Amino acid sequence: MPKKDISQQHAGFEDIRQVDEAGNEFWSARQLSKVLEYSEYRHFLPVIGRAREACQNSHHPVTNHFEDVLDMVEIGSGAQRKIDDVRLSRYACYLIVQNGDPSKPVIANGQTYFALQTRRQELEDSAKFAQLSEDEKRLAIRNELAEHNKHLAAAAKDAGVETPLDYAIFQDHGYKGLYGGLGAKDIHARKGLKKNQKILDHMGSTELAANLFRATQAEEKLKRDQVQGKRQANQTHFEVGKKVRQTIAELGGTMPEALPTPEQSIKQIESSQKKLEKKK
C-alpha cells in the first residue's frame, strides 16, 4: 500500500475520534464501520460481537470499552429518528480490527495502527511508569518482554516450532523483520557485545518497547491465523517485525538498529538496585 494511502487511513481513524464532556475519547461504531470499508453496518455487527468476546476473555470490563447508545440522525425534512450505535474506546477499536476481515488492506493497516496507539496510551496512562527513570523503564519493559516471550514460545510451539534450534530460527526471523534484515548475531555484533551477553539486556527502553510490540503481535497473529508449520510461523514472525518497523518509520521514529546501546546492562542495573536495597 502506498505510504500516502496509509497516512490517509491513519488520519481517517483520528478524524472520527470524538471526546465527551468529561474529556474521554471514543469512536462511533457506525463511523468506524465506514472507515473500515464495510458496505453495511449490519455486516459490521458480528465483528463487534467477536471483539466484545475477546475483551471479556482478556478480563477487561466490557462495558468500559463498548457502550451501547442511541443516536439521533436526520432522515429528511428536519425529522429525526433514533439508531443503535456503540461508543468504542481505543482498546475496543484495537480488538475490532484484530477481529475484522484480514483481506481488507485497511483492516491490516488498522491492526498495526490501533495496536501501537493502544500500547502508547497504556504507557501514557500509567503515571507510575511516566515517573520512572530510563533504567527503571528498561527493567519494567524487559521483565514484561521476558513474560511475553514465554507466551510467544508457546504459540510458536503450537504452530510447529518445536526444537531449540527451530525457535532460534523463528526468533531470528522476527528480528530480521524489525531490524531491516539484521538477525540476532548481526545485532549482537553491531552492539559490540561479548559472546555471553544477551542483546535484550543491552537495549534502551525505546528499543525494548519495539521488541515487546513485535512479540505480542506475533503471538496474537500466530493464534488468530491458526498458523501451522515452521516455515509459515517464521514468515509470520518476519512479517510482524517488518510491519512494526514500517509503523516506526511512518511515525518518524528512529529505527531500532540506530538507537544507542546503553552503557549499563540490565544485569548491572539489577545488581545496583540490590545493593541500594541492602543499604536501606
For the stretch 151-193, pLDDT in tens is: 899 999 999 999 999 999 999 999 999 999 999 999 999 999 9
If asked whether residues 85 and 152 sit together in one domain, one would say no
- Which of 75, 94, 113 is the last residue before a domain boundary? 94
Q: Beta partners for 276?
A: none
89, part of any domain: yes
Q: What is the DSSP string of 95-150?
A: HHHHTS-TTSHHHHHHHHHHHHHHHHHHHHH-HHHHTS-HHHHHHHHHHHHHHHHH
209, part of any domain: yes
If asked whether residues 29 and 158 sit together in one domain, one would say no
Cβ proximity of 13 and 35 under 8 Å: yes
If asked whether residues 54 and 181 sit together in one domain, one would say no
Report pLDDT digits (tens) over 91-141.
898 889 888 776 777 776 777 667 666 666 666 655 566 677 888 889 888
Average pLDDT, the chain: 86
Count of C-beta atoms within a 10 Å radius of residue 22: 5
Q: How many distinct structural domains can be found in the chain?
A: 2
Count of C-beta atoms within a 10 Å radius of residue 276: 9
227, part of any domain: yes
If asked whether residues 79 and 165 sit together in one domain, one would say no
If asked whether residues 226 and 144 sit together in one domain, one would say yes
Per-residue pLDDT at 56: 86
If asked whether residues 206 and 261 sit together in one domain, one would say yes
If asked whether residues 139 and 79 sit together in one domain, one would say no
Closest to 116 in 3D by CA, of 266, 23, 253, 264: 253
If asked whether residues 263 and 137 sit together in one domain, one would say yes
If asked whether residues 73 and 171 sit together in one domain, one would say no
220 pLDDT above the threshold of 60: yes
If asked whether residues 11 and 87 sit together in one domain, one would say yes
121, part of any domain: no
Distance CA 94, CA 41 (A): 18
Per-residue pLDDT at 155: 92
Phi, psi of 61 (to 5 degrees): -60, 115
231, part of any domain: yes
Under the banding of pLDDT at 50, 70 and 90, the label for residue 222 is very high
- Prediction pTM value: 0.59
Distance CA 106, CA 13 (A): 10
Which structural domain, as residue segments, surrounds residue 200? 130-268
Count of C-beta atoms within a 10 Å radius of residue 108: 16
Cβ proximity of 88 and 32 under 8 Å: yes
Q: Beta partners for 87?
A: 28, 67
6 pLDDT above the threshold of 70: no
If asked whether residues 77 and 140 sit together in one domain, one would say no
Q: Which helix (H) or strand (E) holds 26?
A: strand 25-28
Distance CA 230, CA 170 (A): 8
Q: Grid cell 475496543 — which residue?
A: 92
- Please give the share of the chain, as a percent, with pLDDT higher than 90: 50
Average pLDDT score over residue span 23-30: 91
Show Cβ contacts of residue 239 under 8 Å, excluding neighbours closer than 6 positions.
Answer: 177
Q: How many residues does the chain have?
A: 280
